[in-house]
Amino acid sequence: MTEKGVADPRSHKIEPLGKRHNRVVFSCGNDALNTYIQKRASQEAKKKIATTFVMANSPTSTVIGYYTLSATSILLADLPNETARKLPKYPHVPATLLGRLAIDRRYQGRGYGEVLIIDALRRALQATTEVASYAVVVDAINERARSFYAQYEFHAFPDRKLRLFLPMKTITSLFS
């Protein structure tokens, strides 16, 4: 527990979404993100579209926060010129999509988002031992979310300021 009697976000386990996780009351302040975890996440997992990872309250299994990972690609032409110059001249570069990341309102502002993003980056990096990925890509939902990702060294695509990427090389250095 922290000094305010709130559980330390690092003490919660992060795991794939399962039937036992209570997501009915999840509310992060964004209807699309709420609807996703409540109604669509399980179907997308079954169809192998995206894997949802959740942090849940231990006694009740109530979802505190979640994120999704899936495969994607980046058009080489969409990357900044200085980045694209260093890559093979394939039309597409493989990447990992951090599709969604949300924290229930009751837990926002307490470090849960940081714990989730670090876990997502660690999982994405681990996956590169079996499936290549140049970077983690995220589509920030708004300017506030863009600023959140920028703190972790994500870079904006030149023509899409809310689409950001973080090269695996940078992620590797974060964990070494």
CA distance 114 to 54: 13
CA distance 172 to 78: 23
CA distance 115 to 12: 9
Radius of gyration of the chain (CA): 17
149 in catalytic set: yes
**Closest to 154 (Cα-Cα) out of 96, 108, 105:** 96
Task: State the residue for tokens 């527990």.
Answer: 1
Options 66, 67, 112, 149, the catalytic residue: 149
Break the chain down into helix, strand, coil percent, rounded to 5: 35, 30, 35
The torsion angle over the Cα atoms of residues 155, 142, 174 and 113, rounded to 10 degrees, is 180
Q: Are 52 and 17 in contact (CB under 8 A)?
A: yes
Q: Which residues are catalytic?
A: 149
